[in-house]
Structure 1
């Protein structure tokens, strides 16, 4: 694996990268005191080479970002969300198109949230040592052991892509998988828009026709995104619960409650915005602090739906969690969510239409 830490080395590597239709991509980052990950290294595999690009070197990466958004080059990434976030934060570009090997694996019968090392083991019977997974990748120089680890993390991405692509095609799921890839891409675009929105726009596009606690958590996340600080440093779930339970209608009460929170003590404007938002979303509404208890009949329906989900997941050889989550099913039963994700697109074909038939018959 070549370490790319000069402009000449990067330019040479890009000649190889841009000549390929598929590349494997992985990143290492640190995310201790921030919402967004701080990108440290980018590992890339091509048909014949492995590169480790030092993201902390003072390089002009514009042509690299162009490669990551080149529609003629498929980027193979395992569990891509955090890698995309790390790349976007430094480049303002959302990599596309993506082939997410974790997503593809769940589409072809592998278990939920399967790791890269588990896929490599199950497909190729090769064990990968993950002891350096939580190393500090911001430290320099990068030693040989870390370099070998980084290489292993992209070494099998192209072979995995080739294997899973054949599985998806043979199981006639290419259209469904492409639909899901596009859904994931849209979510990445939505998150990127929140990152670059003006601070004064925080909370303005949040749908408030839901449980106020859920709305408040979304506002908390938007603040964390804009200020690039961890969610817990803005407001923990416990703190949010306490605010609603205490019914702090007065901004002075809120100020005293958040007296040890530097995010709000350092910004009276942000405190005022939080107070106005909380007041607006909670008036004339009941706050839900716990999961709604299902009636006897609803519990029967839940059991029926879970049986159908399990059977259909086996029938189509798809991980059930990616079809529908327990929370989505419960919301569907209680009509808290009238149009859940599983009643649209490929999920409707696999499970949604059956779920609606069961609910309507009961």
Structure 2
């Protein structure tokens, strides 16, 4: 059984009842098809004694809930929680902390990289979750009991999974590995939008020359700002293909926009003058301020050999910790690290396993040896 909280008074009573809780399992249901920000439609939570669905569409003031979630002595347990935390940050201006993400914990334990919640529940509890309500329109009201029961399963078993993962992490002495990843999840900068960097996420930007990228940066920043302001999906304003075409072409007057496929006359009349200014801004910037293409650099023969060596190290460490090599590091990740002249792979749990070893290998302080058909690290 679970409770359905739909009024401010019910929420206040609930939070008073949960005031002594030391942990809470959390999940949300949301839709994002027609908005820039996710529209929060349902909040599910579970404590030691309570299972609850909170309806944010019928409660006018959720600030008491945000304040409760901010308590530093209340551990928030989530699975693949970045989207949930993004929603909380957008609505409250703060990221709940501390957190425990069961997907990250499962990866550290070698159960699978980016393992889905259903597979994790099946693996640890032997329960197959009902998937019949996965296409629910969570913004529709009223929600049927079977829909709410489907939603509450996301925390019903999450609170059972947490102690199992926590115990296994401690038994393998890997509980320290997850903290950097958890800290990144609760860093507000993770969810802060930098409009000036949005050009990097435009599809096919690597096809443009540096000055064209300068134009793209201005146009992409405008699109991002407009989407934020109007709370609309970016693609509804301008598609990536249109942005790239605008940046590639030498557009000098409004009529030039009409040659771009998919760009409507009405849109040109509304924003064309602004686009022209942005294009001129991008073109007039000095070459020293142009963005550089994000094309993949190639390795020379020596770095290619070094990549081979480090991939052996990855395999050796993966075998040692009983974790899939693909979960630790891929060849492109190591190539990127070497090209950028770094010795550390990452700042998350993977770095806890590989960074010191990589640094020692690259500094010549450790070597690989073979003994009885086993690869060993020496030094």
When normalised by structure 2's length, the TM-score is 0.77
Shift in alpha-carbon separation, 1:26–1:279, aligned structure 2, 3 A = farther
Shift in alpha-carbon separation, 1:81–1:306, aligned structure 2, 3 A = same
Shift in alpha-carbon separation, 1:254–1:350, aligned structure 2, 3 A = farther
Give 1:53's aligned residue.
Answer: 54
Shift in alpha-carbon separation, 1:333–1:135, aligned structure 2, 3 A = same
In the alignment, is the contact (CA less than 8 A) between 2:337 and 2:344 conserved in 1? no
Greater helix share, structure number: 1
In the alignment, is the contact (CA less than 8 A) between 1:39 and 1:90 conserved in 2? no
Query: Aligned-pair distance for 1:218?
Result: 7.9
Counting only pairs closer than 5 Å after superposition, residues 164-243 of structure 1 correspond to structure 2 as: 164-186=165-187, 189-194=188-193, 202-203=195-196, 216=217, 219=221, 222-223=224-225, 224-225=227-228, 227-243=230-246
* Alignment partner of 1:309 is 2:310: no
Unaligned runs of 5+ in 2: 365-379
In the alignment, is the contact (CA less than 8 A) between 2:121 and 2:157 conserved in 1? yes
Query: Aligned-pair distance for 1:184?
Result: 2.1
Measure, in 1, the Cα distance between the counterparts of 2:265 and 2:79: 36
Which secondary structure does the structure 2 equivalent of 1:29 belong to? strand
Q: Greater Rg, structure 1 or structure 2?
A: 2
Deviations 1:219-276 (A, max 9, x none): 47853445433343455444455455x3547576985548439888644446634663
Which secondary structure does the structure 1 equivalent of 2:35 belong to? coil
Counting only pairs closer than 5 Å after superposition, residues 63-212 of structure 1 correspond to structure 2 as: 63-186=64-187, 189-194=188-193, 202-203=195-196
Shift in alpha-carbon separation, 1:319–1:272, aligned structure 2, 3 A = farther
Measure, in 2, the Cα distance between the counterparts of 1:265 and 1:302: 53
Give 2:369's aligned residue.
Answer: none
Query: Aligned-pair distance for 1:303?
Result: 3.2
Query: Aligned-pair distance for 1:135?
Result: 1.3
Deviations 1:130-157 (A, max 9, x none): 2322311001111011011012111011
Give 2:355's aligned residue.
Answer: 352
Shift in alpha-carbon separation, 1:181–1:133, aligned structure 2, 3 A = same
Shift in alpha-carbon separation, 1:347–1:78, aligned structure 2, 3 A = closer
Measure, in 1, the Cα distance between the counterparts of 2:286 and 2:241: 18
Query: Aligned-pair distance for 1:105?
Result: 0.9
Query: Aligned-pair distance for 1:72?
Result: 1.0
Give 2:376's aligned residue.
Answer: none
Counting only pairs closer than 5 Å after superposition, residues 23-62 of structure 1 correspond to structure 2 as: 23-62=24-63
Which secondary structure does the structure 1 equivalent of 2:176 belong to? helix
Counting matched residue pairs gives 348
Measure, in 1, the Cα distance between the counterparts of 2:114 and 2:93: 27
Shift in alpha-carbon separation, 1:22–1:319, aligned structure 2, 3 A = farther
Query: Aligned-pair distance for 1:168?
Result: 1.4
Unaligned runs of 5+ in 1: 196-201
Measure, in 1, the Cα distance between the counterparts of 2:356 and 2:192: 33
Shift in alpha-carbon separation, 1:255–1:314, aligned structure 2, 3 A = farther
Measure, in 1, the Cα distance between the counterparts of 2:255 and 2:317: 52
Measure, in 2, the Cα distance between the counterparts of 1:264 and 1:357: 58
Which secondary structure does the structure 2 equivalent of 1:176 belong to? coil
In the alignment, is the contact (CA less than 8 A) between 1:107 and 1:177 conserved in 2? yes
Give 2:264's aligned residue.
Answer: 260
Measure, in 1, the Cα distance between the counterparts of 2:251 and 2:287: 10
Shift in alpha-carbon separation, 1:22–1:286, aligned structure 2, 3 A = closer
Counting only pairs closer than 5 Å after superposition, residues 316-327 of structure 1 correspond to structure 2 as: 316-318=321-323, 320=325, 323-327=328-332
In the alignment, is the contact (CA less than 8 A) between 1:65 and 1:91 conserved in 2? yes
Measure, in 1, the Cα distance between the counterparts of 2:63 and 2:164: 32
